[in-house]
Structure 1
Amino acid sequence: MTLPSTRTRFLFFTGKGGVGKTSLSCATGLALAQAGKSVLIVSTDPASNLDEVLGTGLNQTPTAIAGAPGLFALNIDPEAAAHTYRERMVGPYRGILPAAAIQSMEEQFSGACTVEIAAFDEFSKLLGDPGATAEFDHVIFDTAPTGHTLRLLTLPSAWDEFISSSTGGASCLGPLAGLEKQKTLYAATVERLSSAEETTVVLVARADAASLREADRTRAELADLGIRNQTLVVNGLFPDAASGDAIATAMAQRAAEALANMPAGLAGLSQSRIPFLPRGTVGLAALREMAHPEIVASPTSHEMPATSLPPGLSALVEDMASAGHGVIMTMGKGGVGKTTVAAAIAVALAKKGHHVVLSTTDPAAHIAATLDGIVPGLTVKRIDPSQEVQLYTEEVLAKAGQQLDAGGRAMLEEDLRSPCTEEIAVFRAFARTVDEGKNGFVVLDTAPTGHTILLLDAAEAYHREVMRTQGDMPESVRELLPRLRDPGYTRVVIVTLPEATPVHEAERLDKDLVRAGIKPYAWVINQSLLASGTTHPVLCQRGGYEVPFIRRVADSLAPECALIPWLAESPVGVTGLEHLVTQQPCIEAHSSSLG
């Protein structure tokens, strides 16, 4: 059980949200620094918690990590990068063009597309420009969750294709204006990612079927991009030594079955395995334990600490059902169980006789794998980006294209080949799905936090784009933000785990939503070992670690709170999802009510 190989100068950690990419990238960087290397860790995640894990405040320049000589880190802040990128494009024209023209340019650079381009621009400087990181022996990239990462990696070829095919000058929205100059840098970035001598891509997964499926999908899609220099790390592996404890046995059996049935392509990669650690992986001491698990003392206590626990999910579902219709959105950091909670709520509402649509805006969605049965009244949908782009393109060309001459139509087609179009098309589908909440329930399993906020913030940029290409705005889009801000129509359920990083991330999400005029309805704490009834010493120690996070959510953060225990029966399929709703937290040695 070891950290991944560090043979190459660049290490690129990727995988499904919540699998431990940040902790592993930091533990690897710390181990290299302790071996005398100079190391830079970079986060490209819009919802980064790199500074929290390392215990040092970070910005967009390399910062020395306190207590770890030779280790440095930085965050690529997408919003700050967008501001810098926007000013670089608009600044030279201030004082030259009229104020109205400057305002129009700033509006063009205000959308989510600019944020993504700017973040990639910063990423490319670090990976594609040899001089940018010349003083470091190793550069480690802690990346965003899988869907966003793959989009990031495919941008260079997408932009290159768009620019190369442009014959009349790029007519897309403002963000495209600065890309032509960067073509050489982007090409160098892709070349370095593909070089097995320079870069290793570390696929991080948990020992469960969904996580390994996602890692294999990532492996295949990266290979299609020419990035085949990959290795696998299975994180959090729990080896039960025949303890007789039901939860420990189920955890070990699930892991063993998942590893035994690992997809062949993934099984063919070189592998490292990291054991389950009974306490969190925040701070240098915990990262050293991850790198050297043999130094971790074995716990002996079979008792959980006493604390009051929130109730299960059933009371929240009853309250939701009483409204009769509307939108329920599960939101939170990747990997906390949003998909499972959304599917469980949808099944429970449908079982009560309601018409329910279960849908996702997550590019790495796996609802179909979670729900493997048929429930009367329940319709499962997925907002498919490629399909939405095709529909949007056809509609724009039909409405606006027929009014244009050949040259004008060619320029419009150039616009629609831009990657910006996908953001617009998906946002449009999101609004259309929310509109269905008028006549029944819509349960939306949304994308990880950073992507979701960017999606919601795209409203004004989308409005301007629709007006430019179509001259009108669909009713569903016009009504979207008012509906999201109406607590009688939309209920936002924040899902978290009883751990430091997911709770802190959820707290930041809560504040972002409130600033946007969207007040969360409830919080759900998922997969609690404290509430599971286990008496296994390692799991009891981990359960004790959960207490302050459960208390903070239940006592201070959540207007309403539900807690879901870690279940011995995997919550997959209709029966498993029903059990997720009806299961109450184990209250042995605990008080059953909050107060």
Structure 2
Amino acid sequence: MADQQELPEGTLQNLLDQETLKWVFVGGKGGVGKTTCSSILSILLSRVRTSVLIISTDPAHNLSDAFQQRFTKIPTLVDGFTNLYAMEVDPTVEHEDVGVSDGMDSMFSELAGAIPGIDEAMSFAEMLKLVQTMDYSVIVFDTAPTGHTLRLLQFPSILEKGLAKVMSLKNKFGGLFSQMSSMFGMGDELAEDALLGRLEGMKDVIERVNMQFKDPDMTTFVCVCIPEFLSLYETERLVQELIKFEIDTHNIIINQVLYDDEDVESKLLKARMKMQQKYLDQFYMLYDDFNVTKLPLLPEEVTGVEALKAFSSHFLTPYQPASSGDPVERLERRISTLRKQLNEAEAELERLKSS
């Protein structure tokens, strides 16, 4: 890969240019702006792809807040778009979809509950089955914080272990299975189909998708972080886990970066900038072969389609702080800012004197 240090700044243009991409995961520590980044990425992809689906797998769904539109577990067209869909998935088993009798359903629940992580894995498999029946050009995952994301990547092995455990129970207690199935008024074959068929079907789906996840032409993982120690640590942990799972990752978004603009007079902000610069240097040193995209900290939240579209320009063109302009213009802007601050302070002083 080309040396990123030769480039002024990285951008996410590489994701738009990679036409073979089918799955794009966006993840990182909580509170770093994953939902905003994944939402903007899906908007940018919708400009170059026939159809895009963005899925939130975070239990604390923020996708509805980002787009200011209510989403459910059914893909819904995002307002203002003709080819961008969104859905929010809860990581719990939806037993109403099992399609067997109440007695069999509760027995299935008990078995599922005995295997750690199987409920989430099955829920994820159900969602992937649903997604695969629809023909989306690319699917963007707005994932839960790092720990949940790593569990999500372990689901194929969890399902495999779950299936093996159920099969061993069946072999040990075959007679009991038969008795229970006759108690619920079903033949042996139907009972086995209900219990094992569903797990087997899910395992097939998730294994097929898992092969795609490990194909760098089809899948990539975008790590979102902020220039602070804990976020740097979490990002490194995430990158190492992705390497272990053989999942491609070559894009890092560093969000909420403070720039030394001409109107920054605050000692606190200047101290934060100095601290951030230390971690930015470490990010560039650790990930010199990654596309590292820096995004500025804004004074307001980026919510609503128009705000997301406006902010999206920074994903494709490196942000230029006002301080990088002509020195005379910078000084004039600084004087203008100071005058405004002085006028506001004088007005406040007069208000306090007269009260």
Q: Same fold (TM over 0.5)?
A: yes
RMSD of aligned alpha carbons: 3.5
Q: What residue is the counterpart of 1:266 in the other structure? A: 287
Residues 133 and 271 (structure 1 numbering): CA distance in 2 closer, same or farther, change over 3 Å? farther
Q: 1:92 aligns with which of 84, 94, 100?
A: 100
Is residue 155 from structure 1 mapped to residue 168 from structure 2 by the alignment? Answer: no
Any idea what the Cα deviations from partners look like across 1:421-454, whole Å, max 9, x if unmatched? Answer: xxxxxxxxxxxxxxxxxxxxxxxxxxxxxxxxxx
Is residue 227 from structure 1 mapped to residue 247 from structure 2 by the alignment? Answer: yes
Residues 34 and 88 (structure 1 numbering): CA distance in 2 closer, same or farther, change over 3 Å? closer
Q: What residue is the counterpart of 1:566 in the other structure? A: none
Q: What residue is the counterpart of 2:237 in the other structure? A: 217
Residue 38 of structure 2 aligns with an amino acid whose one-letter code is S
Deviation at 1:264, TM superposition (A): 5.1
Any idea what the Cα deviations from partners look like across 1:32-53, whole Å, max 9, x if unmatched? Answer: 3245642111111111111111
Aligned-partner SS, 2:279 = helix
Q: CA–CA distance in 2 between the matches of 1:286 and 1:87?
A: 38
Residues 277 and 224 (structure 1 numbering): CA distance in 2 closer, same or farther, change over 3 Å? same
Q: CA–CA distance in 2 between the matches of 1:219 and 1:102?
A: 39
Matches within 5 A, 1:523-534: none
Residues 65 and 166 (structure 1 numbering): CA distance in 2 closer, same or farther, change over 3 Å? closer
Any idea what the Cα deviations from partners look like across 1:233-279, whole Å, max 9, x if unmatched? Answer: 11121112363321221221121110112385534322222222221
Normalised by the size of structure 1, how large is the TM-score?
Answer: 0.43
Deviation at 1:122, TM superposition (A): 3.1
Q: CA–CA distance in 2 between the matches of 1:105 and 1:182?
A: 14
Q: What residue is the counterpart of 2:272 in the other structure? A: 251
Aligned-partner SS, 2:303 = coil
Q: What residue is the counterpart of 2:184 in the other structure? A: none
Residues 239 and 176 (structure 1 numbering): CA distance in 2 closer, same or farther, change over 3 Å? farther
Is residue 72 from structure 1 mapped to residue 85 from structure 2 by the alignment? Answer: yes
Residues 198 and 106 (structure 1 numbering): CA distance in 2 closer, same or farther, change over 3 Å? closer
**Preserved contact between residue 13 and residue 142 of structure 1 (Cα < 8 Å):** yes
Residue 158 of structure 1 aligns with an amino acid whose one-letter code is I
Q: CA–CA distance in 2 between the matches of 1:192 and 1:58?
A: 27
Q: What residue is the counterpart of 2:206 in the other structure? A: 186
Residues 133 and 236 (structure 1 numbering): CA distance in 2 closer, same or farther, change over 3 Å? farther
Deviation at 1:215, TM superposition (A): 0.8
Q: CA–CA distance in 1 between the matches of 2:220 and 2:248?
A: 9
Q: 2:261 aligns with which of 241, 244, 253?
A: 241
Any idea what the Cα deviations from partners look like across 1:291-330, whole Å, max 9, x if unmatched? Answer: 1258x9x99xxxxxxxxxxxxxxxxxxxxxxxxxxxxxxx
Q: CA–CA distance in 1 between the matches of 2:306 and 2:236?
A: 32
Q: 1:59 aligns with which of 56, 66, 72?
A: 72
Residues 221 and 92 (structure 1 numbering): CA distance in 2 closer, same or farther, change over 3 Å? same
**Preserved contact between residue 12 and residue 291 of structure 2 (Cα < 8 Å):** no
Residues 88 and 292 (structure 1 numbering): CA distance in 2 closer, same or farther, change over 3 Å? closer
Q: CA–CA distance in 1 between the matches of 2:288 and 2:268?
A: 27
Q: What residue is the counterpart of 1:125 in the other structure? A: 129
Residues 166 and 210 (structure 1 numbering): CA distance in 2 closer, same or farther, change over 3 Å? same
Any idea what the Cα deviations from partners look like across 1:541-589, whole Å, max 9, x if unmatched? Answer: xxxxxxxxxxxxxxxxxxxxxxxxxxxxxxxxxxxxxxxxxxxxxxx99
Q: What residue is the counterpart of 1:206 in the other structure? A: 226
Q: Which runs of 5+ in 2 are unaligned?
A: 1-8, 174-193, 323-336, 338-347, 350-355
**Preserved contact between residue 195 and residue 229 of structure 1 (Cα < 8 Å):** no
Q: CA–CA distance in 2 between the matches of 1:162 and 1:123?
A: 18
Q: CA–CA distance in 2 between the matches of 1:195 and 1:28?
A: 20
Q: CA–CA distance in 2 between the matches of 1:166 and 1:291?
A: 48
* Matched residue count: 286
Residue 309 of structure 2 aligns with an amino acid whose one-letter code is R
Q: CA–CA distance in 1 between the matches of 2:286 and 2:166?
A: 38
Residue 249 of structure 1 aligns with an amino acid whose one-letter code is K
Is residue 277 from structure 1 mapped to residue 298 from structure 2 by the alignment? Answer: yes
Is residue 19 from structure 1 mapped to residue 32 from structure 2 by the alignment? Answer: yes
Q: Which runs of 5+ in 1 are unaligned?
A: 300-536, 538-587, 590-595
Residue 100 of structure 2 aligns with an amino acid whose one-letter code is P
**Preserved contact between residue 27 and residue 291 of structure 1 (Cα < 8 Å):** yes
Residue 223 of structure 1 aligns with an amino acid whose one-letter code is I
Normalised by the size of structure 2, how large is the TM-score?
Answer: 0.70
Which protein has greater RCO, CA pairs closer than 8 Å, 6+ apart?
2
**Preserved contact between residue 19 and residue 205 of structure 1 (Cα < 8 Å):** yes
Q: What residue is the counterpart of 2:183 in the other structure? A: none
Aligned-partner SS, 2:82 = coil
**Preserved contact between residue 209 and residue 262 of structure 1 (Cα < 8 Å):** no
Residue 310 of structure 2 aligns with an amino acid whose one-letter code is E
Deviation at 1:114, TM superposition (A): 5.8
Matches within 5 A, 1:135-150: 136-150=136-150
**Preserved contact between residue 232 and residue 272 of structure 1 (Cα < 8 Å):** yes
**Preserved contact between residue 75 and residue 86 of structure 2 (Cα < 8 Å):** yes
**Preserved contact between residue 122 and residue 159 of structure 2 (Cα < 8 Å):** no
Deviation at 1:176, TM superposition (A): 8.0
Q: CA–CA distance in 2 between the matches of 1:223 and 1:31?
A: 27
**Preserved contact between residue 146 and residue 238 of structure 2 (Cα < 8 Å):** yes
The structure where helix makes up a greater share of residues is 2
Q: CA–CA distance in 2 between the matches of 1:167 and 1:107?
A: 15
Deviation at 1:143, TM superposition (A): 0.7
Deviation at 1:102, TM superposition (A): 6.3
**Preserved contact between residue 233 and residue 274 of structure 1 (Cα < 8 Å):** yes
Q: CA–CA distance in 2 between the matches of 1:176 and 1:19?
A: 41
Q: CA–CA distance in 2 between the matches of 1:45 and 1:56?
A: 17
Residues 229 and 102 (structure 1 numbering): CA distance in 2 closer, same or farther, change over 3 Å? closer
Q: CA–CA distance in 1 between the matches of 2:150 and 2:38?
A: 18
Aligned-partner SS, 1:191 = helix
**Preserved contact between residue 53 and residue 140 of structure 2 (Cα < 8 Å):** yes
**Preserved contact between residue 236 and residue 274 of structure 1 (Cα < 8 Å):** yes
Aligned-partner SS, 1:204 = strand
Any idea what the Cα deviations from partners look like across 1:123-142, whole Å, max 9, x if unmatched? Answer: 43267x3xx342x3221111
Q: CA–CA distance in 2 between the matches of 1:54 and 1:263?
A: 32
Deviation at 1:54, TM superposition (A): 1.0
Q: How many percent of aligned residue pairs carry the same amino acid?
A: 28
- Which of these two proteins has the greater Rg computed from alpha carbons? 2
Any idea what the Cα deviations from partners look like across 1:68-125, whole Å, max 9, x if unmatched? Answer: 332111111334xx22xx2344x4234xx6xxx7655556667995641343223432
Q: What residue is the counterpart of 1:40 in the other structure? A: 53
